[in-house]
């Protein structure tokens, strides 16, 4: 059994007789895979993204995180065909099959958008937050995409949205609706002021 730094270990069976036996053992070099992670919205590097490397069987053989410039590097890889799984907060995960011969790869993460805001009661001066108000989110086809309730301070949040146009309908007194363009990687904020009961 033979092992050396930077190479895959190898073992062969040798039959020993009365004469010396010459045995040739070829060690396969272990490779290094590197890459950079950026966002689809701005092209900026993604720091602290988690990189997991899986072999042909799906077993994770190595992990690391990107640096401040979005770069990562993992050495000691023996399998030529690997799967790179990239995850980061606020982004959709990405998995792609690569080869050690590819050298450095670029992974572009699609940033998920968020839509948030506060609902207040317009019948008072500065507006009183309306808690537990139902907020519905409709996509550009008019279909219900999500629904939530405001918290105690009147705030609502829709996370991990696909970029596009959405119509937000806020209920509490008379319902109020608004169409909002949500761009990739953007945190859109829209404040609703509800009228008195029976008023728009």
In a domain, 16, yes or no: no
Phi, psi for residue 100 in degrees, rounded to 5:
-60, -30
49 and 100 both lie in a single domain: yes
Please report how many Cα atoms fall inside a 13 Å half-sphere around the Cα of residue 106, on the Cβ side.
8
Of the pLDDT bands very low, low, confident and very high (cuts 50, 70, 90), residue 73 is: very high
Boundaries of domain holding 145:
113-194
Residues 35 and 68 in one domain: yes
Domain presence at residue 17: no
Q: Is residue 9 part of a domain?
A: no
Res 35 pLDDT > 90:
yes
d(Cα 128, Cα 116) in Å, to the nearest integer?
A: 17
- 121 with 104, same domain: the answer is no
DSSP string, 40-96: TTT--B-TT-EEEEE-TTS-EEEEEE--TTSEEEEEEE--SEEEEEEE-TTB--EEE
- Specify the number of domains making up the chain: 2
Q: Could you tell me the pLDDT band of residue 123, with boundaries at 50, 70 and 90?
A: low
From 109, 129, 145, the end of a domain falls on 109
Supply the pLDDT for residue 188: 65
* Beta strand residue intervals within the chain, DSSP E: 31-39, 50-54, 60-65, 71-77, 81-87, 94-99, 104-109, 113-121, 128-129, 134-138, 144-149, 155-161, 164-170, 176-182, 187-189, 192-194
Q: What is the pLDDT, as a whole number, of residue 74?
A: 92
Residue 6 lies in a domain: no
In CATH, what number is assigned to the domain containing residue 137? Answer: 2.60.40.1120
pLDDT tier for residue 67 given thresholds of 50, 70 and 90 = very high
């Amino acid at each position: 059994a033979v092992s050396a730094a930077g190479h895959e270990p190898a073992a062969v069976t040798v039959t020993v007789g009365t004469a010396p036996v010459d045995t040739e053992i070829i060690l396969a070099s272990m490779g290094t895979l590197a890459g950079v992670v950026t966002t689809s919205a701005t092209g900026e590097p993604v720091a602290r993204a988690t990189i997991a490397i899986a072999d042909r069987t799906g077993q994770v053989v190595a992990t690391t995180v990107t640096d401040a410039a979005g770069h990562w590097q993992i050495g000691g890889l023996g399998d030529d065909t690997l799967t790179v799984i990239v995850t980061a907060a606020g982004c959709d995960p990405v998995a792609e099959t690569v080869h050690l011969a590819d050298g450095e790869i670029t992974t572009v993460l699609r940033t998920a958008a968020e839509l948030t805001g506060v609902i207040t009661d317009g019948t008072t001066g500065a507006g009183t937050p309306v808690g537990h108000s139902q907020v519905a989110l409709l996509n550009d086809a008019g279909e219900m995409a999500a629904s939530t309730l405001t918290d105690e301070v009147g705030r609502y949040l829709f996370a991990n949205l696909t970029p596009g146009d959405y119509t937000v309908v806020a209920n509490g007194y008379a319902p109020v609706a608004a169409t909002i363009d949500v761009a990739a990687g953007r945190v859109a904020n829209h404040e609703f002021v509800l009228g008195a009961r029976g008023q728009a």
